[in-house]
Structure 1
């Protein structure tokens, strides 16, 4: 499960956010590298709540997430009870899901990285952030707007459904405010709104990310960070298929 953010683990869907009072204006590359590590740094451990809203139904789940650099992510659902234990593991370029009810590990093929994670509007790619924005996108910075505007276009070798990503960044805090995602024809397909800036482990970060698909009326997924710590003791050995099935 891999923008924003993490998702998702963002998310789901990213900026190496220490308290920032830069003497010089940041470059486009510096800003996009910060976005890559916003909720990660060298390692991180988080608990979060995901609320999914559609015209037909609503659901909420809590989950625990561990990450190490950009290469390793482990996500485990804690509640509700019927989903508890479902987990996602990313190791470098590979990803697996574990479903405890059937006691089965299923590898996620590259073709499914843009698929929905657990029925949310976040994709597998959002949750575990397989793609580095700094490495996979060309970026242009517009400083003339009230907020910094980063325009990202995928490089020729980048595998993505997005033709362009626009990111608005607050000029004082250097925190993201809003993201727009466009298809290859330039049609806006979804937007992400960042809000509720809080202190996590000595860093100011948006605690809430709301993802809204613009082609699905009435759909919205909200991720709220409940706890978040950085540079914790997260060993590479945590990110194994065995832990995917047994970690409590």
Structure 2
């Protein structure tokens, strides 16, 4: 979710900024942080349950899976494959700083070591590290806000104290609904490495968000992973004791 190779979006001027105005700079900083917090929290509600389809496309093959997920803030999550039948029951559990996979064919729980964090998750373009993300972007990145007539652009640069895979990010947000349409990740050398594209806005209860996320690795032509949320519910009855190794091993 990061850049000095910027996306080709014309940045007309920074929000609320005027030359020589420290008060305007403060307003711009506050607006940037407020918008970043909104985007950061979009898919990180206090508790949630979802069913989604994940399509993985490479230059050589494509495959589709149906997944079910539960999440409690940033610290707890459980994702289980429902289909195809041959992979049903394969699951991933996150509890705070720990992560496990369950492989039903061999009836084995495997703890994911730190050395495997950048490995592919379920054969997709997402990594184990994507699921293990902790903390907020506001704490980890400095942010600069720019705008055009219809878009806000948030340029994020990792703070010196931040330990992260991505040195920078750029998030493009529409002004009319304050929802993201594109997010680019950059390595520490400023090279754009992958891009997330958001579409198909829907409302679930009181929450409106894009229901399709397409992750494209820019260094792998022909590859992409698309996640489509089929259903979502928030503020459900969910506690931390749901996220156990015993529950990880349940098939459905």
TM-score by shorter chain over 0.5: yes
119-128 or 219-228, which moves further after superposition? 119-128
Larger Rg: 2
Q: Secondary structure at the match of 1:135?
A: helix
1:87-139 Cα distance to aligned partner (Å, 9 max, x none)? 11111111111111111111112232222111111112223533532222222
1:133-181 Cα distance to aligned partner (Å, 9 max, x none)? 2222222222356411111122233332212100001112111110111
Q: Matched residues in 2 for 1:54 and 1:92: separation?
A: 32
Structure 1 residue ranges (4+ consecutive) displaced by more than 4 angstroms after TM superposition:
none
When normalised by structure 1's length, the TM-score is: 0.85
Q: Matched residues in 2 for 1:137 and 1:222: separation?
A: 26
Contact 1:40 / 1:230 at 8 angstroms: preserved in 2? Answer: no
**Unmatched segments (≥5 aa) in structure 2:** 2-26
Q: Matched residues in 1 for 2:41 and 2:133: separation?
A: 10
- Root-mean-square deviation (Å): 1.9
Instruction: Confirm or deny that 1:97 pairs with 2:95.
Output: no
Q: 1:28 aligns with which of 19, 28, 32?
A: 32
Contact 1:125 / 1:131 at 8 angstroms: preserved in 2? Answer: no
1:35-75 Cα distance to aligned partner (Å, 9 max, x none)? 22212311110000000001111100011110111111111
Q: Matched residues in 2 for 1:161 and 1:203: separation?
A: 30
Q: Secondary structure at the match of 1:46?
A: strand
Instruction: Confirm or deny that 1:136 pairs with 2:174.
Output: no
Q: Match for residue 236 of structure 1?
A: 240
Contact 1:73 / 1:128 at 8 angstroms: preserved in 2? Answer: no
Q: Match for residue 58 of structure 2?
A: 54
When normalised by structure 2's length, the TM-score is: 0.84
Gap change, CA 1:207 and 1:140, over 3 Å in 2: same
Contact 1:201 / 1:228 at 8 angstroms: preserved in 2? Answer: no
Gap change, CA 1:157 and 1:145, over 3 Å in 2: farther
Q: Match for residue 225 of structure 2?
A: 221
Instruction: Confirm or deny that 1:190 pairs with 2:202.
Output: no
Q: Matched residues in 1 for 2:251 and 2:41: separation?
A: 25
Q: Matched residues in 2 for 1:129 and 1:145: separation?
A: 33
Gap change, CA 1:134 and 1:179, over 3 Å in 2: same
Instruction: Confirm or deny that 1:246 pairs with 2:250.
Output: yes
Q: Secondary structure at the match of 2:34?
A: helix
Gap change, CA 1:27 and 1:227, over 3 Å in 2: same
Q: Match for residue 171 of structure 1?
A: 175
In the alignment of these two chains, the number of paired residues is: 226
**Unmatched segments (≥5 aa) in structure 1:** 4-23
Q: Secondary structure at the match of 2:249?
A: helix
